[in-house]
Structure 1
Amino acid sequence: MTWPAMQLTIAGLASRAKMTRRTFIRWFRTGNRPGARRMVVQARVLRAWQLLEATKMATEDVASATGFGSADALRHHFRKRLGTRLVRYRAIFQTSGPPQSNSPRRPPSPPRPRFSPA
C-alpha cells in the first residue's frame, strides 16, 4: 500500500517525519506552506491522476487505492484541484492514445493538472 492510500493522521505523519506533533504542526504554520491536509489531498489527487492515465480501473477502485473515502470525494477533489471533471478527463485521455501508424499528427494531449494552493 502506498502512502496516499493510507489512513493518515497528524501524529503518524509527524512520527514519519521524525518530529513531534507540535513541531510538525508549527512547521506547516510557518512560512508559505500549504497545510498538511492540503498536501495529502494533493498527493492523493496526483496518484489518482496517474492511475486514471495508466489503468482502466473503475472510479471506486481508484478512490480506494488513493485513500479517498469514496468516489464522490475523489470526484470533488479532482475537479477542485485540476479544474475538470474526472469523467471528462478520463474520456479525453482514453481517446488520445498513441497515434495511428497512418496518422500524420498526434492527438491532442489531455489537460495537465493545475494544482491550486486553495
Structure 2
Amino acid sequence: MLTDLMQRFETASSLYAEANGLTRDDDWFMLKLQEEMGELTQAWNRVSGRSRAKGRDAQTMARDLADETADVLGHILLLAHRHGLDLEAAIARKWLFDPSANTAPNASATS
C-alpha cells in the first residue's frame, strides 16, 4: 500500500524536478520536508488564529491546511523512498497495526 503511494509521489516529484531543473540529493529531501513543515505550521497558525489571515476566509484557510498536510505527507514518503525505508514495518513496530490490513488498530498502540 505505502510502497505504491511512495512510487507515485516519486514519479510526480521526479517529473517536477526535471521540468524545473532541480537536483534532488539527500539533503534536498530533508530540507524540502522541513520547508513544508514550516508551511504547514503557517497554515495552522492562520486556522487557529495565531497569525494574520492575510485576506483568507475560513474555507480557504482549511484548504491551505489540507494542501500543506498533503505536501508534508508527500515529502515524508519521498524521504522514505529515497532511503529505502520500510514504513509499513515501522508502522507495525511503532503503532502496533498492519497498515495494509483492513482492520482497526489495537487500542494499546503508542507512538
Regarding TM over 0.5, the answer is no
Q: With structure 2 as the length reference, what TM-score do the two structures score?
A: 0.30
- Tell me which of the two structures has the higher relative contact order, counting C-alpha pairs closer than 8 angstroms and 6 or more residues apart: 2
Q: Which has the higher helix share?
A: 2
Q: With structure 1 as the length reference, what TM-score do the two structures score?
A: 0.28
